[in-house]
Amino acid sequence: MSSPTADSTDPSASAPAAKDPAATTDPLANVDRTEPAYDPAETPEGDDETLPPYDAVLLLSFGGPENREEVMPFLRQVTKGRGIPDDRLEQVAEHYYLFDGKSPINDQNRALVEAMHGELRRRGLSTPVLWGNRNAAPFLTDALRDAHERGMRRILVVTTSAYASYSSCRQYRENIAEALAELQEEGRELRVDKVRQYATHPSFARTNIRLVTEAVRRIDQPDDAKLRLVFVTHSIPTAMDDTSGPGDEEGNLYEHQHDELAHVIADEAGITLDRDLSSALVYCSRSGPPSQPWLEPDINDHLEKLAAQGITDVVVAPIGFVSDHMEVVYDLDTEARATADRLGLRMERVPTVGVDLEFVSGLIDLVEERAAEARGESVTPAAWPGEAMPSICRRGCCPNLREALPAACGED
Ligand SMILES: CC1=C(CCC(=O)O)c2cc3nc(cc4[nH]c(cc5[nH]c(cc1n2)c(C)c5CCC(=O)O)c(CCC(=O)O)c4C)C(CCC(=O)O)=C3C
Ligand SMILES: [Fe+2]
């Protein structure tokens, strides 16, 4: 590989959150920063093992703004071509302004890139870990161009989205196809594969089980009848949920995967703690016009109902999100917490899986599994609860209901 040069897409060019005095929250307070920051541009050459056939792993995420000036351009990028009125965007922007325009998501991803690289290194692998976003710098196209500049040709993508559905899976595949087409016009040929969606990977379940179990211990409410587990995910239009899945006419895989995981977590935490833990799956961050049905109930409405039933303590577990971002720090830690306070409910928010070692180790298991598959070796994909999602998405799965667009990493 030729000697790499750092440029503006280099994630290490920005200071990590822990060193940013302007940060209003520090979601990375638990990150071990005693090791020097990982710099993908400085991957040592030598006889370290890589992971054939891949030259690099790329973390693909949603992206978020980091200051006030970036908020409206970010929101316009997210809703591009969707005709969302500016006053709706201004309303969402207010959530970001509460945090000085800085979403925690990018710092979380910088830490995750570092953690994934650390886990690869622990396994004796020197494969670089790159980072690209759909909606904010470093943009995916720029990250892939940079990889091509550095001589890389085959890239393995891991997204920060675990479940089935258009928004959580196919939309990322469309972004990859678009980026590859753009680069092809520049004469740059790259091949990109993706690890399977990991909502049904055992390490995702086990990490969430442990985090919920610890949160129940913290809340100190011994009466099962007064305590509820509240599992939360991003609401999506019911039409999007109805068509989520491998195109087998069944649909509703988005909701089903969350529901199944929520039950396993409640059961397993209950076994560990010898308690009978009741739970519900609820939603946050609904957008779209009121006339369009989205998945319900909303977490705030659910908290009202629980309080009316005499519940005093809630453990809120954001299983739909792999790290803290605006939905977590605003919709849950700000809005839902205010609702809980008003109702006199004690609320314990469970951490997201973030850079938890067991979760990160599971991601790298998936990376190794996908590489073995690409080398033509037979692999038995671990899955619990439920079934493994395919690493090459099925034709027609999780369709784009607005327009058919090319998507990478699938049969169509
Ligand atoms: C399933 C799902 C995930 C989880 C999977 C994944 O992680 O990808 C997710 C993540 C995220 N969604 C995010 C932000 C936004 N989502 C929006 C809009 C929408 N999300 C949807 C679904 C999802 N979204 C849908 C069906 C819409 C409406 C239609 C559309 O526009 O596609 C809008 C537009 C404004 C509004 O209408 O609210 C914004 C600003 C951020 C960044 C937060 C930060 O900055 O920290 C993240 C991680
Ligand atoms: Fe969203």
Task: Give pLDDT tens digits for 249-293.
Answer: 789 999 999 999 999 999 999 999 999 999 999 999 998 889 999
- Among the residue ranges 22-36, 74-88, 118-132, 316-330, the one predicted with the least confidence is 22-36
Residue 19 lies in a domain: yes
Residue 380 lies in a domain: no
Judge if 25 and 172 occupy the same domain: yes
3-state secondary structure string, 68-107?
Answer: HHHHHHHHHHHCCCCCCCHHHHHHHHHHHHCCCCCCCHHH
Distance 21 CA to ligand 1 centre (A): 27
Distance 133 CA to ligand 1 centre (A): 13
Q: Name the domain boundary from 314, 349, 384.
A: 349
Q: For position 283, which CATH number holds?
A: 3.40.50.1400
For residue 16, the tally of other CB atoms under 10 A from its CB is: 18
Q: Is 135 in the pocket of ligand 1 (CB under 6 A)?
A: no
Residue 311 lies in a domain: yes
In testing the pocket of ligand 1, which one of 66, 75, 100, 285 has its CB within 8 Å of the most ligand atoms? 285
Closest residue CA from atom 19 of ligand 1: 287
- 269 within 8 A of 277, measured Cβ to Cβ: yes
Question: Has residue 32 got a pLDDT over 80?
Answer: no
Judge if 21 and 150 occupy the same domain: yes
Q: Is 126 in the pocket of ligand 1 (CB under 6 A)?
A: no
Residue 258 lies in a domain: yes
In the chain, the percentage of residues whose pLDDT exceeds 90 is 83
Q: Give DSSP secondary structure letters for 346-409.
A: EEEEPPP-TT-HHHHHHHHHHHHHHHHHHTT-------SSS-PPPSSBPTT-S--SS-----SS
Closest residue CA from atom 40 of ligand 1: 75
User: What pLDDT does 165 receive?
Assistant: 98
Task: Give pLDDT tens digits for 321-347.
Answer: 999 999 999 999 999 999 999 999 999
Judge if 128 and 162 occupy the same domain: yes
Task: Give pLDDT tens digits for 97-106.
Answer: 999 999 999 9
Closest among 340, 351, 272 to 311, alpha carbons compared: 340
CA pair distance 193, 156, nearest whole angstrom: 5
Q: Work out the mean pLDDT of the chain and round it to a whole number.
A: 91
Which ligand 1 atom sits nearest the alpha carbon of residue 104?
46
Residue 404 lies in a domain: no
What residues are paired with 64 via a beta bridge? none
Which ligand 1 atom sits nearest the alpha carbon of residue 89?
35
What average pLDDT does the segment 35-51 reach? 67
Q: Annotated binding residues for Fe-coproporphyrin III, as ranges?
A: 103, 172
Judge if 240 and 370 occupy the same domain: no
Judge if 128 and 236 occupy the same domain: no
Residue 402 lies in a domain: no
In testing the pocket of ligand 1, which one of 62, 80, 283 has its CB within 8 Å of the most ligand atoms? 62
Residues 6+ apart with CB under 8 A from 41: 4, 5, 6, 10, 12
Judge if 143 and 269 occupy the same domain: no
Distance 48 CA to ligand 1 centre (A): 39
Judge if 175 and 312 occupy the same domain: no
Q: Give DSSP secondary structure letters for 276-301.
A: --EEEEEEE---S-TTS-B---BHHH
Judge if 275 and 309 occupy the same domain: yes
The number of distinct structural domains making up the chain is 2
Q: Is 102 in the pocket of ligand 1 (CB under 6 A)?
A: no
Q: Is 232 in the pocket of ligand 1 (CB under 6 A)?
A: no
Residue 292 lies in a domain: yes
What average pLDDT does the segment 3-22 reach? 40
Domain enclosing residue 338, as ranges: 202-349
Closest ligand to 169 CA? 1
Distance 275 CA to ligand 1 centre (A): 35
Q: Is 78 in the pocket of ligand 1 (CB under 6 A)?
A: yes
Please state at what angle helix 171-185 crosses helix 140-149, rounded to 10 degrees: 50
Q: Annotated binding residues, as ranges?
A: 103, 172, 234, 327
Distance 328 CA to ligand 2 centre (A): 11
Distance of CA 180 to the CA centre of its chain: 22
Judge if 154 and 16 occupy the same domain: yes
Judge if 284 and 369 occupy the same domain: no
Task: Give pLDDT tens digits for 380-404.
Answer: 999 999 999 999 999 999 999 999 9
The upper half-sphere exposure of residue 147, i.e. CA atoms within 13 Å in the direction of its Cβ, equals 32
Judge if 135 and 230 occupy the same domain: no
Task: Give pLDDT tens digits for 165-187.
Answer: 999 999 999 999 999 999 999 99
Residue 26 lies in a domain: yes
Placement of tokens 């990889």 in the chain: 147
Q: What 3-state class would DSSP assign to 158? A: strand
CA pair distance 371, 231, nearest whole angstrom: 33
Distance of CA 321 to the CA centre of its chain: 5
Judge if 178 and 47 occupy the same domain: yes
Say if residue 16 is preceded by a cis peptide, omega within 30 of 0: no
